Amino acid sequence: MSEYIEKLKRRFSELFGGLENTREYFSPGRVNLIGEHTDYNGGHVFPCALTLGTYAIARRRDDDKIMLYSENVSKAGVITLSKDNIALNGSYGWAAYPIGVVWAFEKQGYGIDSGFEMALFGDIPNGSGLSSSASIEVLTGAVLRDLYSFDGVTGVDLAKIGQYSENNFNGVKCGIMDQFAVAMGKKDHAIFLDTATLKYEYAPVILEDASIVIVNSNVKHSLVDSAYNERRSQCAEALSDLQSVLDIRTLGDIDEETFEKNKGAIKDETVRKRAKHAVYENQRTIRAVKALSENDIALFGKLMDESHISLRDDYEVSCEEIDFLVDTAHSVKGVIGSRITGGGFGGCTVNIVKNEALDEFKEKINRAYLEKYSKEPGIYQVSIGDGAGRI
Ligand code: GLA
């Protein structure tokens, strides 16, 4: 970590001239343990912040310029614009994430009175579904709050502003989960969040003799954003059909039994399957959090497995490579649970693996995936870290 900061300091100094008055920040990535595609259905999610994430060095400028640099996209060089001239459809490349947050802050009444310069570096694998974009959004929010003393802005506000920016500046109609986990994460805890009310609780993740291992398929299928938005509208359609027979506000308002009794009201068969996932996954998440609090890791793992099957068959957001990783995981004795995590159509699986089986797990996954797809998966044994802020 300190090694990243030292490197970034040298780069900042070269690009922007010295390090006087600079400040340092970190913002995590996230992994969702269970509760997938429930956050735009008024359901529960159970993500945690990672110790992988994005580092930044920043300082205010005396003029109106915003100057942004990412060591991950060094070819793009320094992106420079005036704080008073942010275009909704500008071609900013990676910098659309921080610029969108400056734009969103202004929309929320937090206009900045001078420019700033910021250099970033992230160690979250790109396009992996571990929320590198939410990490940059919340990071930028934390930087702005600190540099301009927007003291009234809370962590939950940072999450909401990040989501607002992603929805309205970047055009992805995501829910609140990613930004919330990144802003509000807590070391060694997952966040049990009710997305209907934003009430949340921290749950200690004590796995005793097991670890969380993320496997990156290194595939990202095209049309992810459009397929995501399509799932959202199918859920909205299901809700509207159900509202003709039930007095509910979201799919998160009903349990499995109520769904089964009333599902006939949903006209389209595919839409019915989507709604089934949203309802069952929400209830599964509530049960999984209870299982974890009772130290029943085996049940927690079983619910993760059921979550995967539902995402694969009813929600249809998995893909061949991810299913292969989940199946291979299950061939290792000592794997307690395995599922796709994040938006889907590629990205990562999250696995709970007994420590004694870790070496076999890593070796087997690596070999089988390489043999079948001629590329290595990324395997990360991860720790749960804190949310975004100054370091
Ligand atoms: C993406 C979105 C989140 C959430 C997940 C699926 O990560 O950004 O809001 O909907 O997909 O659970």
pLDDT by residue (tens digit) across 161-176?
999 999 999 988 899 9
CA 54–ligand 1 middle distance (angstroms) = 19
Q: Which atom of ligand 1 is nearest to the CA of 177?
A: 9
CATH number of this structure's domain 210-381: 3.30.70.890
186 DSSP assignment: B
3-state secondary structure of 20: coil
pLDDT reported for residue 222: 66
- Nearest-CA residue for ligand 1 atom 1 is 343
What residues flank ligand 1, with Cβ below 6 Å? 36-37, 39-40, 174-175, 177-178, 342-343
CA dist list (Å): 18 to 9, 10, 143, 391? 9, 9, 19, 19
CA dist list (Å): 290 to 49, 226, 264, 266, 379? 20, 34, 31, 31, 28
> Residue 225: pLDDT band by 50, 70, 90 thresholds?
confident
3-state secondary structure of 307: helix
Q: Which atom of ligand 1 is nearest to the CA of 45?
A: 12
Percent of the chain residues topping a pLDDT of 70? 99
CA dist list (Å): 128 to 25, 31, 38, 169, 307? 22, 10, 20, 21, 19
Active site residue ranges: 178
Residue 55 has pLDDT above 80, yes or no: yes
Residue 224 has pLDDT above 80, yes or no: no
What's the pLDDT tens digit per position in 288-337?
999 999 999 999 999 999 999 999 999 999 999 999 999 999 999 999 99
- Evaluate whether 2-205 and 210-381 have a shared fold: no
Give Dmax (Cα) for the chain. Answer: 67
What's the pLDDT tens digit per position in 259-299?
999 999 999 999 999 999 999 999 999 999 999 999 999 99
CA 118–ligand 1 middle distance (angstroms) = 27
Of 6-15, 104-113, 125-134, which range is least confident? 125-134
- Nearest-CA residue for ligand 1 atom 2 is 174
pLDDT reported for residue 261: 98
pLDDT reported for residue 126: 77
Domain with residues 2-205, CATH architecture = 2-Layer Sandwich (3.30)
* Backbone phi and psi for residue 206, each to the nearest 5 degrees, phi listed first: -110, 105
CB of 66 closer than 8 Å to CB of 99: yes
pLDDT reported for residue 223: 65
- Nearest-CA residue for ligand 1 atom 5 is 343
> Residue 93: pLDDT band by 50, 70, 90 thresholds?
very high
3-state secondary structure of 86: coil
> Residue 78: pLDDT band by 50, 70, 90 thresholds?
very high
Alpha carbons 345 and 295: distance in angstroms, whole number: 32
CA 379–ligand 1 middle distance (angstroms) = 21
Q: Average pLDDT of 46-55? A: 98
pLDDT reported for residue 1: 63
The enclosing H or E element of 24 equals strand 23-32
CA 129–ligand 1 middle distance (angstroms) = 9
Residue 2 has pLDDT above 90, yes or no: no
- What is the domain partition of the chain in residue ranges? 2-205, 210-381
Best substitution site from 39, 195, 284, 311 to test ligand 1's pocket, by max atoms within 8 Å of Cβ? 39
pTM for this structure? 0.97
Percent of the chain residues topping a pLDDT of 90? 94
Q: Average pLDDT of 3-24? A: 97
> Residue 226: pLDDT band by 50, 70, 90 thresholds?
confident
Q: What is the mean pLDDT of the chain?
A: 96
CA 135–ligand 1 middle distance (angstroms) = 13
